[in-house]
């Protein structure tokens, strides 16, 4: 009996991601194109790519697979993931594929897939089937292949973003913008040209060699360039993006990094001022501040499992105004419920303009009310045993236990969430307290010691 085929190893929970060429190569990219078009039964797709050295060839073969299956392809070239989302919903296409590995190591690449209306395709919503189809697919092309059209949509996209704000009313702030040699730089420059602000552009040339390190500002070691530039230039705000710029990170006027957790509260409050009573979807890792902010603003806090596919699905179900994850993913109802790394910083500039306050003042009360550890990752030989130690230690005293995503325990004056990553072999820890920095730090150290055995 023939062994039943399975999906390729690079097919993960939310997207395709793996080493090139060992796990992802041009042959598989072609097969993904064939399988995607056949699975979605679509006629019109958009493809885009980041600036990684292998992205162009992977995108070329992906496109050939789509057209050999009979689909027409709009190739928008080098771009950010959200530009594929935008093109999919704005042009009413059947689907889209972004070739990107975002913040992964140099020798990796991947793909993010969406169907009509930019709805995500994840493991339980078609990605597994596409992966199986990529292994088993009939390689014979259709008699009349689809056509490829190439178009630069950057100017159109920038106008779309600017149309959501009264940018001529923005305060003339000084802004450091660190593109990290990913794809953000050209788009940020185009937006900046329309704003009454002074921009200091750092590492804004896309370069797949990443001469200044992989663009991942979530890692503390990758923050100094932005922080130093803020201090050197006396800027009002610092911004940094990951490689495909679907995540945006913030630094205040002192150059201090602002945890994404507090940006969720800030952006939720802004969304609810315009749409009182709306739903706000958040993840379970850190939540007390978000729940307080949303409740006080008359909104509906909605906790949901971490991950872009899960957040987007829940936002559609609830018709939520905004969704935020502490990992710097921000989702907007009027952006087809998708995440974007551009709308958040434009919204923060608007908040700073309307309130007349610096970013540090906008988040200070939140930071004092709910000190947080930020996400801490641990690679462990035996994650299950470590989780068992944690449950035995804290479970009997917990006032509440939730398993929406990993395990969360409410200990009264403090709480924590511990979860295994869907994309990496690590355990992730988040701790917060009620207005007690010392307690938060003490409990963080305590849990880490238990995890390390």
Residues recognised as catalytic? 102
What's 372's DSSP letter? B
What span, in angstroms and rounded, lies between the C-alpha atoms of 320 and 301? Answer: 10
Pinpoint the alpha helices (H) of 275-408.
288-296, 308-318, 343-355, 359-369, 383-394
Where residue 102 falls (left for φ over 0; alpha for ψ -120 to 50; beta otherwise) is left
The two three-digit tokens of residue 398, written as one number: 């917990």
- The helix/strand/coil state of 240 is strand
CB 247 within 8 A of CB 329: yes
What span, in angstroms and rounded, lies between the C-alpha atoms of 377 and 367? Answer: 21
What span, in angstroms and rounded, lies between the C-alpha atoms of 233 and 254? Answer: 11
Q: For 112, list phi and psi in degrees, rounded to 5.
A: -120, 130
Identify any residues that bridge with 329 across adjacent strands, giving them in sequence order.
325
What span, in angstroms and rounded, lies between the C-alpha atoms of 271 and 266? Answer: 9
For residue 155, give the nearest of 86, 248, 52, 88 by alpha carbon: 86
What span, in angstroms and rounded, lies between the C-alpha atoms of 222 and 216? Answer: 7
Residue 449 CB partners (closer than 8 Å, separation 6+)? none
Where residue 378 falls (left for φ over 0; alpha for ψ -120 to 50; beta otherwise) is beta
The count of residues in the chain is: 453
Q: Which residue has the tokens 């804290």?
A: 394
What span, in angstroms and rounded, lies between the C-alpha atoms of 421 and 282? Answer: 17
């Amino acid at each position: 009996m023939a062994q039943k085929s399975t999906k390729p190893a690079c097919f993960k929970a939310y997207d395709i991601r793996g080493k090139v060429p060992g796990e992802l190569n041009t042959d598989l990219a072609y097969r993904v194109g064939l399988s995607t078009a056949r699975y979605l039964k679509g006629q019109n797709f958009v493809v885009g790519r980041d600036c990684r050295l292998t992205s162009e060839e992977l995108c070329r073969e992906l496109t050939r697979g789509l057209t050999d299956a009979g689909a027409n392809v709009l190739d928008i070239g080098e771009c950010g993931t959200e530009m594929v989302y935008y093109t999919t919903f704005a042009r009413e296409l059947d689907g889209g594929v972004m070739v990107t590995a975002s913040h992964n190591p140099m020798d990796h690449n991947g793909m993010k897939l969406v169907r009509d209306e930019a709805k995500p395709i994840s493991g339980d919503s078609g990605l597994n089937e596409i992966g199986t189809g990529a292994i088993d697919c009939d390689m014979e092309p259709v008699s009349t292949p689809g056509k490829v059209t190439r178009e630069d949509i950057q100017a159109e996209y920038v106008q779309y973003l600017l149309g959501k704000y009264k940018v001529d009313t923005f305060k003339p702030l000084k802004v450091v913008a660190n593109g990290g040699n990913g794809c953000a730089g050209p788009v940020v420059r185009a937006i900046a040209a329309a704003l009454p602000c002074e921009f200091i552009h750092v590492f804004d040339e896309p370069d797949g060699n990443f001469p200044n390190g992989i663009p991942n500002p979530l890692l503390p070691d990758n923050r100094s360039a932005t922080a130093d530039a803020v201090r050197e230039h006396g800027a009002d705000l610092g911004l940094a993006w990951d490689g495909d710029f679907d995540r945006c990170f913030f630094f205040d006027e002192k150059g201090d990094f602002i945890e994404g957790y507090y940006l969720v509260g800030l952006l939720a409050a802004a969304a609810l001022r315009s749409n009182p009573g709306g739903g706000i979807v958040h993840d379970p890792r850190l939540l007390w501040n978000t729940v307080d902010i949303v409740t006080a603003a008359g909104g509906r806090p909605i906790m949901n499992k971490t991950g872009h596919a899960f957040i987007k699905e829940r936002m559609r179900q609830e018709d939520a105004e905004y969704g935020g994850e502490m990992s710097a993913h921000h989702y907007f109802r009027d952006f087809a419920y998708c995440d974007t790394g551009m709308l958040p910083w434009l919204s923060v500039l608007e908040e700073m303009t309307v309130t007349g306050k610096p970013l540090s003042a906008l988040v200070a009360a939140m930071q004092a009310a709910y000190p947080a550890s930020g996400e801490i990752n641990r690679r462990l030989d035996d994650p299950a045993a470590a989780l068992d130690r944690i449950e035995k230690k804290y479970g009997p005293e917990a006032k509440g236990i939730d398993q929406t995503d990993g395990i969360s325990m409410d200990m009264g004056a403090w709480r924590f969430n511990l979860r295994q990553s869907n994309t990496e072999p690590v355990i992730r820890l988040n701790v917060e307290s009620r207005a007690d920095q010392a307690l938060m730090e003490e409990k963080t150290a305590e849990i880490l010691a238990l995890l390390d055995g």
